[in-house]
């Protein structure tokens, strides 16, 4: 597969109000390159985003090892609102975190009931990420009808704890790899 010179990126608003730059997944890259209507669909869409960086793991040949590594290396996931999409050179975009492929366009999530949005976006994520996604969908749908909506304090605390835990795992993994590389 040829490397893309221009990468589609997005400014995504998290429920805490922070705007974060993300790189869109490879399958969304190809869809946006081939269909100009898809670009309009992405504006103000809800998209699944990692709330912390991914933990880099070594490739394993065993299927069981890969499944266990996948579960331990996955960051917590939530939902963000796509503010705008744009293209950057691959050199600039490679430093951004990658979104997931699941998204719901603005014309759907604003009129569809919570249940249908949630069942599509939660996909096959771990239980806590599914609950975080449900809380985030509720937040974004409440934004449409209520004035001063805030992120649910409990899920805000849970996601903060999970992000800190993921960062701690990344630091420990880096420490172990440094130890392995510098062993005398």
Flag whether 120 is in a domain. yes
pLDDT > 90: percent of the chain: 47
Flag whether 116 is in a domain. yes
Confidence bin at 39 (pLDDT 50/70/90):
confident
**Alpha-carbon distances, residue 162 vs 4, 26, 32, 143, 181 (angstroms):** 33, 26, 32, 25, 29
Apex CA 75: angle with CA 79 and CA 67, to 5°? 120
Flag whether 163 is in a domain. yes
β-partners of residue 23 are 9, 98
Flag whether 133 is in a domain. yes
Flag whether 1 is in a domain. no
The parent domain of residue 76 ranges over 6-179
CB 67 within 8 A of CB 43: no
**Which pLDDT belongs to residue 66?**
55
The pTM of this model reads 0.84
Q: Is 105 exposed, middle or buried (0-12, 13-18, 19+ CB in 10 A)?
A: middle
**Closest residue by Cα to residue 103 from 178, 181, 182, 22:** 22
Flag whether 184 is in a domain. no
Flag whether 14 is in a domain. yes
E strand or H helix that includes residue 174: helix 153-181
**Alpha-carbon distances, residue 109 vs 33, 69, 81, 101, 138 (angstroms):** 24, 33, 11, 16, 11
E strand or H helix that includes residue 107: helix 106-109
- The pLDDT tens digits for 114-149 are 888 888 888 789 999 999 999 999 999 998 888 788
**Alpha-carbon distances, residue 13 vs 69, 76, 153, 178 (angstroms):** 29, 16, 18, 35
- Residue 40 confidence (pLDDT) above 90: no
Gyration radius of the chain's alpha carbons: 18
d(CA 117, CA 138): 10
Mean pLDDT over 75-98 rounds to 93
- The pLDDT tens digits for 147-180 are 788 888 999 999 999 999 999 999 998 888 888 8
**Alpha-carbon distances, residue 160 vs 57, 79, 137 (angstroms):** 23, 14, 17
Flag whether 165 is in a domain. yes
- Residue 47 confidence (pLDDT) above 90: yes
Say how many domains are in the chain. Answer: 1
């Amino acid at each position: 597969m040829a490397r893309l010179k221009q990468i589609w990126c997005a400014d995504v608003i998290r429920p805490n109000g922070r705007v974060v730059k993300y790189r869109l997944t490879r399958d969304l890259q190809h869809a946006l390159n081939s269909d100009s209507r898809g670009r309009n669909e992405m504006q103000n869409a809800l998209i699944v985003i990692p709330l912390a960086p991914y933990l880099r793991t070594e490739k394993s040949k065993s299927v069981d090892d890969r499944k266990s590594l996948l579960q331990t290396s996955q960051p917590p996931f939530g939902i963000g609102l796509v503010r705008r999409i744009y293209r950057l050179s691959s050199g600039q975009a490679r430093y951004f975190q990658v979104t997931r492929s699941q998204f719901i366009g603005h014309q759907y999530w604003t009129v569809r009931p919570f249940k249908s949005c949630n069942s599509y976006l939660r996909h096959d994520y771990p239980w806590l990420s599914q609950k975080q996604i449900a809380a985030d969908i509720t937040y974004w749908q409440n934004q449409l009808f209520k004035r001063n909506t805030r992120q649910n304090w409990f899920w805000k605390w849970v996601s903060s704890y999970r992000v800190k835990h993921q960062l701690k795992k990344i630091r420990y993994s880096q420490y172990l790899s440094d130890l392995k590389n510098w062993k005398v």
